[in-house]
Structure 1
Amino acid sequence: FHCCCFLISILLLQQVKMPPLLARPPDGGWGWVVAGSAFVVNGLSYGLLRSLGLALPAFAEYFDRSTQDTAWVSAIALAVQQAASPVGSALSTRWGARPVVMVGGIITSLGFILSAFASSLLHLYLGLGLLAGSGWALVFAPALGTVSRYFSRRRVLAVGLALTGNGVASLLLAPVLQLLLDAFGWRGALLLLGATTLHLTPCGALLRPLALSGDPTTPPHSPLNALGLTLFTHPAFAVFALGTTLVGAGYFIPYVHLAPHALDLGLGGYGAALVVAGAAVGDAGTRLVSGWLADGGWIPLPRLLAMTGALTGLGLVAVGLVQEQEEEWGGTLLAAAGAYGMSAGAFAPLVFGVLPGLVGLGSILQATGLVMMLMSLGGLLGPPLSGFLRDVTGDFKASFLFCGSFILSGSFIYLMLPGALPRCHSAPPPPTPPPEQGELLPSPESTLASPNDPHSIPNTTC
């Protein structure tokens, strides 16, 4: 099967030629294949990373180390994947997303295969943490950025489809990984996961290049331009970056501390697992709905981003306000966690869907990588702060309330984005002066945004 996948990859690479220049994204066609490829990429990166925690007890028992020591395996992989995402975007800007994602798939697979022969926990830090994390950093941002380049009217729906790979893979890979651990041990399981992650390579081969009229004519010559750090000089992106960093400080708290919070409230192990599952199902279920709503154009995308962000923060506050549970299955906490999951799932595709309207399609790959890095900065701040507040107060109530305030603060900052607040009226275009005798009327410039594009930001004033 792997030979067939690589044969398909080679055949696709042999068809690489200079793509025709398009005035606007095709908004479909091969773009749905790209969205399906990004769906698998998301599942084999974030979905697998979320399921990897099932192997940590086996690592702790074999190497006779504490749970805290083995937890660094997943922590290093997540930190490297998030923080190094701008590198993957920069390489894709220079050489294209297709070869970068294919190489990233090979690196990720090597990380798992080499870790199967680990003789110490340090080898797992280097193999799963550093090597596999670096491979994941090369695949996610380029794949998701390519999806945004292929779509206009249905962009957020396509991004939401790609992001559902996380939830679907988490539900499927968790029981499969546990079965592999029981049948083959952790070494055999890592070998089989290495073979599975190798499928990232044919997924990268499906990312056919696309040339748009808004793309830069020459590749960036300096590392600063390749990383896209100059985007921070744009006021709209700077506002978005600040809001995203604050949101990231609270967004990942339930991933780490929702289950311990449920246990503190008196729920058993199965009750806590049900609460976590309820949040995950709500998260996965609303991503496509959010994309459909955003692409409908009924609500401006920046305003919808601020609204769903505020609902996410309120959901996190509701989780923190839940008192001790008398029911064995935690009905009140389950409802609050489900509400948080639904709002967080609706928020996720909008974060990436709003980027083309802020930076343009020519810089979407770089902007996607920077967003991943910003979320990682907030994610590194939130969970330790939540744990510190738990140690000080004795429960997670203050943790969820405080971190929910981070999300609300970031959502209020999103209101400063162009188009987030209603305007009084649209500013009329300046009149075209009459032509001189023998002079032709100037033709309008070809742009990527159009009145039919729901993600274009209108030029409106009060």
Structure 2
Amino acid sequence: MYTDRDAGWSWFILLGAHLAFFLWEGLCKGLGVMIPTLTEQFDTETWKVGLSVGLMLAARGLSGLLLGPLERRWNHRHIATVSGLAASFGVLLACMTNNVVQFGVCLVLLTGTATGLLLNTAVVLLGVYFDRLYAMANGIACAGASVGILVSAPATQFILDVYGWRGCLLLLGGVCLHLGVVGALFRPGSSSTAPTDPCQYKLVESDEERSTQSALTSGESKESCTTVSSHLVSKIIAATDADLFCNFSFVVLIICFCNICVVIIVWVVFTVPHVLVKGLTPYQASLVAGAGAVGILTGQLGHGLLVDKEILGARPMLYISHVLMAAAFLLDPLLHGLWPLVAGNFAFGVGFGITFPLSFTMLRALVGPARMSNAVGWAEAAGGIMRIAATFLTGWLYDTTGSYDTSYLVIGSLPVVVIAALLLEDVNNMICARKRMDGSE
């Protein structure tokens, strides 16, 4: 078990995680910039190209459920290295495709699936190697995503203009080969150490732990399953930690992750096409995307220090971040011109930059490092399903109405739903606390 937490090799784990998010989000934003060109070159509709990218992002989320079983057979370094190389090969193959179906297959089966394993490995190892500084480390790691977006948007536009879409994908695939090198930094670690996070959550116990405690309390021995089917269900639940869904706080965090996945895919994939429709030039569109990336970076780097030093609680920050995201999307149809769009995207970026890493921090505080692999897998899987719906709906509404305004209004309502769920959880916690107080009296 690794004992030198928050020091030593922990910082190389953080570096690898930062680079992994940098390369992945840079690729996603680059594909978003290329959507108008790919739509023209493949002679297809916007929603089909957007759906291909969305399915890649969905595969990234759904593949997270594979990490738990895989890490029982191979260590994290091997999983991350092989996954990183497979992800880059998917992009390299995509540059040789001739239609949108071939393009989507390469990105979904190779790039999306492999990157999901790599990024989930990074998130899990951060929980193993960091404790006291976990929120800050998580923010720095996730900041790689905003740096990737900031760099990729103008760089991809320049490469696209010079080398065309095939040359652009070839260069992006070459850059993604670094994902294989990132995996070499992921030294395996143990996940058995309990966290000491400042969040208010209590660790969720597994079914096996609860059964053992119940047997000790009642003096009864644990009985084996009476049927093969019930035994199989019990093994599946134990292997996947599906019993986490019995905890209301975990369900609320899953809703939060679903919102995160929807808003970021719409922003990453459709921001540039959206502002081009509003009349901006390609390089002005890159500036708008860059403003959002700066906002994300600000939120990611700023929130960790506030949480770790207990200057501002995780819960209030989660409310603030969702208000910012909701306002950015709901007000977007009213924004026209370069600087209003820059301001709106910056506000969205700050909100997302706080929410994304903070959700992982609160998830770890709720389930503990030992169950983090499956918990992240469930969260990413739920988000992956929502990504499919988001990309299809946004592209389809644009093809139908000729505007992204309707899509942005629909997406802007999702952070409002999360705020309502958080309020419901707070009320539920207050009721439970009052019942405990009444019971103790």
User: What TM-score comes out, normalization by structure 2 length?
Assistant: 0.77
Instruction: State which drifts further: 261-270 or 46-55.
Output: 261-270
> Which residue type is aligned with residue 357 of structure 1?
A
Summarize the Cα distance change of 1:420–1:149 in structure 2 as closer, same or farther, 3 Å threshold: farther
2:216 match: none
1:150 equivalent to 2:104? Answer no
Q: Are 1:281 and 2:294 counterparts?
A: yes
2:324 is the alignment partner of 1:311: yes
CA contact (8 A) 1:88 1:369 kept: yes
Tell whether the 8 Å contact from 1:116 to 1:190 is kept in structure 2 after alignment: yes
Q: How many residues align?
A: 403
**Equivalent in the alignment of 1:403:** 411
Following superposition, the deviation at residue 174 of structure 1 comes to 4.0
User: What residue in structure 2 maps to residue 349 of structure 1?
Assistant: 357
| Paired position in structure 2 for 1:8 | none
Residue 339 of structure 1: which of 347, 357, 371 is its match?
A: 347
The amino acid of 2:317's aligned partner reads L
**Structure 2 residue aligned with 1:290, among 275, 280, 303?**
303
| 1:29 corresponds to | 8
- 1:413 paired with 2:424, answer no
- Whether contact under 8 Å (1:27, 1:150) holds in the other structure is yes
Question: Rg bigger for which structure?
Answer: 1
CA distance, structure 2, for counterparts of residue 222 and residue 265 of structure 1: 53
- Greater Cα offset, 365-374 or 343-352: 365-374
Point out where structure 1 has 5 or more consecutive residues left out of the alignment. Answer: 1-18, 429-460
Partner of 1:202: 181
Measure how far apart 1:266 and its partner are: 5.3
Task: Find the counterpart in structure 1 of residue 220 from structure 2.
Answer: none
List gaps (5 residues or longer) in structure 2: 195-205, 209-231
1:112 aligns with 2:94: no
Matches within 5 A, 1:78-89: 78-89=57-68
2:115 paired residue among 127, 136, 139? 136
Alignment partner, residue 239 of structure 1: 252
**1:370 paired residue number:** 378
Partner SS state of residue 188, structure 2: coil
Q: Would the aligned equivalents of 1:239 and 1:416 in 2 still touch at CA under 8 Å?
A: no
In 2: Cα distance, 1:267 partner to 1:248 partner: 26
Q: Indicate whether 1:43 and 2:22 are aligned.
A: yes
User: What's the CA shift for 1:330?
Assistant: 3.4
Structure having the larger proportion of residues in helix: 2
Which residue identity is paired with 2:355?
F
Q: What is the distance in 2 between the residues matched to 1:261 and 1:181? A: 18
Point out which structure has higher relative CO (alpha carbons under 8 A, 6+ apart).
2
Maintained 8 Å contact 1:244/1:410: no
Task: Tell me if structure 1 keeps the 8 A contact 2:33–2:269.
Answer: no
Pairing partner for 1:299 from 312, 316, 319:
312
Question: How much identity, in percent, do the aligned residues show?
Answer: 28
- Is the CA contact (8 Å cut-off) linking 1:302 and 1:420 kept in structure 2? no
Cα distance 1:284–1:101, how it changes in 2: closer, same or farther (>3 A)?
A: same
Q: TM-score, normalised by structure 1?
A: 0.74
Shift of 1:127: 2.0
State the distance in 2 between where 1:335 and 1:41 align: 28
Q: Counterparts in 2 of 1:217-256, with a 5 A limit?
A: 222-246=235-259, 248-256=261-269
* Deviation of 1:140 (Å): 0.8
CA distance in 1, matches of 2:38, 2:265: 24
CA RMSD for the aligned pairs? 3.8
CA–CA distance in structure 2, aligned partners of residues 376 and 392 of structure 1? 24
State whether residues 168 and 284 of structure 1, in contact with CA within 8 Å, keep that contact through their aligned partners in structure 2: yes
Relative to structure 1, the CA distance from residue 28 to residue 411 in structure 2 (aligned partners, 3 Å threshold; closer, same or farther) is: farther
Query: Is the 8 Å Cα contact of residues 92 and 169 (structure 2) preserved in structure 1?
Result: yes
User: CA shift at 1:198, angstroms?
Assistant: 2.5
Contact kept, 8 Å, 1:245 with 1:410, in 2: the verdict is no
Q: How far off its partner does 1:83 sit?
A: 2.2
Quote the Cα distance in structure 1 between the aligned partners of 2:68 and 2:15. 20
**Following TM superposition, by how much is the alpha carbon of 1:267 offset from its aligned partner in structure 2, in angstroms?**
4.7
